[in-house]
Amino acid sequence: MRVYVLVHTSYLFVSKDNFDVMSEDNDTYLTLLSQSEGLHKVKGSKHFSYAFPVTNEEEIKNCLDLIKVKHHSARHHCYAWRIGYDASRYRSNDDGEPSNSAGPPILGVLKSNSLTNVLIVVVRYFGGTKLGVGGLIDAYRTAASMAVNTGEIVEKNITKTYAIKYPYARMGDVMNVLKRAGINPENTDFQITCSLEATIRLRDSASFAKSMEDIDEVQLKEIS
């Protein structure tokens, strides 16, 4: 399937250089189809891991709140996430573990699997034997990998959505462009002034927009 000071540390990054998740040629990216879980045990400690598909920070917060309620007695709820088609936003959090021993290793799993729009949370229950910083790094990395490996990695297309307005007299021209592009319009309103929304793959969006703009009296606006 293809798929040593104790501190609370959180890292937030915004970058334009994370192109491992997206190809400009085929305008796709890799993410998880659905939630997945894992469990890693080492020297009595248990590391419960959870991977969630997410698209924004509100969804991330909701997932974190859910895990904190589920594992309310645990001391460490460490996590990392990447969002955006090109993973331009990402964060890792050690949640009280030694600096860089938990969040960054989890983030590394996302990077090594070229995943974006994914949150991974690893919850640790201490088993009585200290693992040391190196052991913690390995444990968090292994647990995060287990959550990814039990899930299904999927390739998704990047799209653009346009709002299109035009007079009823241009209906035939507009529909011809939609048909050639293989687009089924949404939110249609056919009156004297007509409107609809059309979603198309990123790689085809420029030629589609030009075809629409070449039709007299057509108004085209990118909405997402």
- DSSP letter at 24? T
- Pair (41, 68) in one structural domain: yes
* Residue 6 predicted with pLDDT over 90: no
Contact 120, 151 (CB under 8 A): no
Choosing from 155, 170, 185, the residue where a domain stops is 155
- Pair (137, 64) in one structural domain: yes
- Pair (210, 110) in one structural domain: no
- Pair (56, 84) in one structural domain: yes
Range of the structural domain that residue 208 is part of: 158-222
The 10s digit of each residue's pLDDT in 115-170 is: 999 999 999 999 999 999 999 999 999 999 999 999 999 999 999 999 999 999 99
| 3-class secondary-structure state, position 133 | helix
- Pair (55, 166) in one structural domain: no
Instruction: Tell me what pLDDT residue 2 has.
Output: 35
- Pair (37, 148) in one structural domain: yes
Instruction: Tell me what pLDDT residue 10 has.
Output: 43
Cα 217 to Cα 48, 167, 211, distances in angstroms: 58, 7, 13
CA nearest to 54, candidates 26, 73, 35, 77: 35
Instruction: Tell me what pLDDT residue 8 has.
Output: 34
Q: How many domains does the chain have?
A: 2
Residue 216, domain CATH: 3.30.70.240
Tell me how far apart the alpha carbons of residues 143 and 169 are, in angstroms, rounded to a whole number. Answer: 60
- Pair (116, 179) in one structural domain: no
- Pair (123, 210) in one structural domain: no
Contact 47, 140 (CB under 8 A): yes
Amino acid at 53: P
* Residue 43 predicted with pLDDT over 60: yes
- Pair (209, 106) in one structural domain: no
Any domain includes 130: yes
- Pair (49, 89) in one structural domain: yes
The 10s digit of each residue's pLDDT in 8-17 is: 334 444 444 4
Q: What is the pTM of this model?
A: 0.79
* Chain centre to alpha carbon of residue 174: 33
- Pair (32, 112) in one structural domain: yes
- Pair (76, 177) in one structural domain: no
The 10s digit of each residue's pLDDT in 159-216 is: 999 999 999 999 999 999 999 999 999 999 999 999 999 999 999 999 999 999 999 9
* Chain centre to alpha carbon of residue 180: 31
Q: Which residues of 110-125 are buried (b: 16+ CB within 10 A; e: fewer)?
A: bbebbbbbbbbbbbbe
Choosing from 128, 155, 182, the residue where a domain stops is 155
Tell me how far apart the alpha carbons of residues 172 and 53 are, in angstroms, rounded to a whole number. Answer: 40
Both tokens assigned to 202 = 């990123």
Choosing from 130, 155, 180, the residue where a domain stops is 155
